[in-house]
C-alpha cells in the first residue's frame, strides 16, 4: 500500500521560487537615509529666519494697533463726558419757565465780574421788578402799556437797541398791551453784563412810553378791540 502524498509548503514549491526569482531587483540605495547638501540646509535656515522675522513684525504691528485702540477708547470716553457736560449746561441755559424759579441765586456767565453783576442783579430785582428764571440763567419782566400801539412801539425800540448791541431777547407779546421780555446769554451760558445793560434800556424806554409793571386797562377804540386777536403772539428773536 502506497504512503499518502506529503504536501510541501508553498514557499518551497518550484513555481513560487521561479516567480520570486523573476521579480525585479530594487537597489538598496533607494531605502538609504536621505542626505541634504549644505546649500539646501542654508536655504532652509534662511527661510525659517525670514518667517520668524515676519511673525515678529506682525506681532509688533498687532501690539501697536491694540495700544492705539486703547488710547482711542479712553479718548472716546473723555469726549462723551465733555458732551454730557455741554448738554447739561445748555439745558440750564434754556429759559424753561418765565413764571417760577427753583434756583434762588443767579448763574453768571464764565468770565463775568461776579461782584459787579451781583450788585446790579440786586438792584434790578428789588427795585425794578425783574425776576430770575427757573435755571437762574436769565431775567424776565412783563410790561403793560395803555394802548396796543405803544406795546408795539416798545417792541420795536427794544429790537433796534438789541440789534445795535448784537444781543437779542426773547419777546412775548400778548395783545392788547402786555409785553414780556427775557434776557439771557447763550455763549457762555448764564447772565452777563449785556443782559443787565439791556434790562436797564428796557426800563428806560418803558418809562418813556408810560409803561407799568401793573396791569393797565387798555385805552383802545372799539373797532381796534374787535380786530385785536386774543391769542398770544410770540416774536421769536434768536438769542446772542
Distance CA 134, CA 154 (A): 26
**Beta-strand runs (E) in 47-206:** 131-132, 138-144, 170-174, 178-186, 189-190
Asked whether residue 81 is assigned to any structural domain, the reply reads no
Q: Quote the CA–CA distance of 9 and 4 in Å, as a whole number.
A: 16
**Is 184 inside a domain boundary?**
yes
pLDDT at residue 204 greater than cutoff 90: yes
Peptide bond into 224 cis (omega under 30): no
Is residue 166 included in any domain, yes or no? yes
Using the predicted structure, report yes or no on whether residue 158 has a pLDDT greater than 80. Answer: yes
CB neighbour list of residue 238: distance below 8 Å, 6 or more residues apart? 168
DSSP 8-state assignment for residue 36? -
State the residue range of the domain holding 170.
114-235
Diameter of the chain measured on Cα atoms: 165
Report if residue 161 sits inside a domain. Answer: yes
User: Which CATH number characterizes residue 137's domain?
Assistant: 3.30.1360.20
Residue range 135-158: mean pLDDT, rounded: 92
Based on the structure, what is the number of domains in the chain?
A: 1
Question: Higher-confidence residue: 116 or 23?
Answer: 116
Task: Return the higher-pLDDT residue of 41 and 180.
Answer: 180
- Grouping H, G, I as helix, E, B as strand and the rest as coil, residue 113 is coil
Q: Is the pTM of this model over 0.85?
A: no
Whether residue 213 has a cis bond before it, omega within 30° of 0: no
Average the pLDDT over each of 37-46, 47-56, 162-171 and give the range with the smallest value.
Answer: 37-46
| The pLDDT value given to residue 94 | 52
Q: Say if 215 falls within a structural domain.
A: yes
Q: What is the pLDDT of residue 28?
A: 55
* 172 inside domain: yes
In-domain check, residue 206: yes
Distance CA 235, CA 170 (A): 7
Task: For 214-232, write each residue's pLDDT tens digit.
Answer: 888 877 555 444 444 443 3
Amino acid at each position: 500500500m502506497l504512503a499518502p502524498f506529503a504536501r510541501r509548503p508553498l514557499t518551497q514549491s518550484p513555481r513560487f521560487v521561479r516567480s520570486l526569482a523573476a521579480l525585479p531587483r530594487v537597489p538598496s540605495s533607494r531605502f538609504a537615509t536621505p542626505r541634504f547638501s549644505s546649500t539646501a540646509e542654508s536655504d532652509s535656515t534662511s527661510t525659517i529666519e525670514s518667517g520668524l522675522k515676519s511673525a515678529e513684525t506682525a506681532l509688533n504691528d498687532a501690539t501697536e494697533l491694540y495700544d492705539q485702540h486703547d488710547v482711542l477708547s479712553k479718548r472716546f470716553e473723555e469726549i462723551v463726558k465733555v458732551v454730557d457736560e455741554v448738554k447739561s449746561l445748555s439745558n440750564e441755559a434754556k429759559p424753561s419757565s418765565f413764571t417760577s424759579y427753583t434756583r434762588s441765586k443767579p448763574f453768571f456767565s464764565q468770565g463775568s465780574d461776579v461782584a459787579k453783576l451781583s450788585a446790579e442783579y440786586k438792584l434790578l430785582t428789588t427795585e425794578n421788578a425783574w425776576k430770575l428764571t427757573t435755571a437762574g440763567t436769565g431775567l424776565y419782566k412783563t410790561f403793560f402799556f395803555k394802548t396796543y400801539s405803544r406795546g408795539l412801539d416798545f417792541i420795536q425800540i427794544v429790537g433796534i437797541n438789541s440789534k445795535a448791541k448784537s444781543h437779542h431777547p426773547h419777546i412775548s407779546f400778548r395783545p392788547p398791551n402786555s409785553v414780556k421780555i427775557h434776557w439771557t446769554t447763550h455763549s457762555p451760558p448764564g447772565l452777563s453784563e449785556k443782559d443787565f445793560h439791556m434790562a436797564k434800556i428796557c426800563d428806560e424806554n418803558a418809562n418813556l412810553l408810560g409803561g407799568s409793571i401793573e396791569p393797565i386797562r387798555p385805552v383802545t377804540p372799539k373797532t381796534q378791540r374787535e380786530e385785536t386777536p386774543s391769542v398770544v403772539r410770540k416774536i421769536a428773536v434768536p438769542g446772542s
